[in-house]
Amino acid sequence: MKNLIIITIAALAISFGKPPKYETVSFSVEGTCSMCKDRIEEALDKRGIRKAIYNPDEKMLTVIFNPKKLEVIQLHNLVAIAGHDTELVKASNAAYMALPDCCRYREGAKCDD
């Protein structure tokens, strides 16, 4: 029993010392402009997320994250909380209405840039 505990602690210590293994995931997110890009990428500026890149033209988001810290659905939720619908999670009306007029993608808004 004591040996088992020691082995477990040793295994934990080794796994903590390892650099995290990142995974890359891409999914579609509604958005219109560079302001949307900044907002979406900022919403994903969290622990366990190494990089988030949103392409408003293709409406695709790519996230490099640590799957030990976050699940993919949490990435969708973070984006939806910022007001943007993803292919899995719809933003609440309140979050959507907090967006500036030119970012209201549900109404077909278009920004100048």
Handedness of CA 77, 81, 82, 83 (dihedral sign): positive
Q: Which amino acid is at 25?
A: V
CB of residue 85 to Cu ion, shortest distance in Å: 13
CB of residue 99 to Cu ion, shortest distance in Å: 7
- CA distance linking residue 111 with residue 37, whole number of Å: 12
> Taking a C-beta distance cutoff of 8 angstroms, is the pair 30, 48 a contact?
no
- Told to check if 91 binds Cu ion by CB under 5 A, we report no
- Told to check if 80 binds Cu ion by CB under 5 A, we report no
- CA distance linking residue 104 with residue 99, whole number of Å: 7
Q: Which residue is nearest to Cu ion (CB)?
A: 103
Find the part of the chain contacting Cu ion (CB under 5 A) among 5-13, 41-49, 64-72, 98-106: 98-106
Write the CB contacts of 110 (distance below 8 Å, at least 6 apart in sequence).
Answer: 32, 102
CB of residue 109 to Cu ion, shortest distance in Å: 8
Under rule CB under 5 A, which residues in 19-58 are in contact with Cu ion?
32-33, 35-36
- Told to check if 103 binds Cu ion by CB under 5 A, we report yes
Residues interacting with Cu ion, by CB under 5 A?
A: 32-33, 35-36, 103
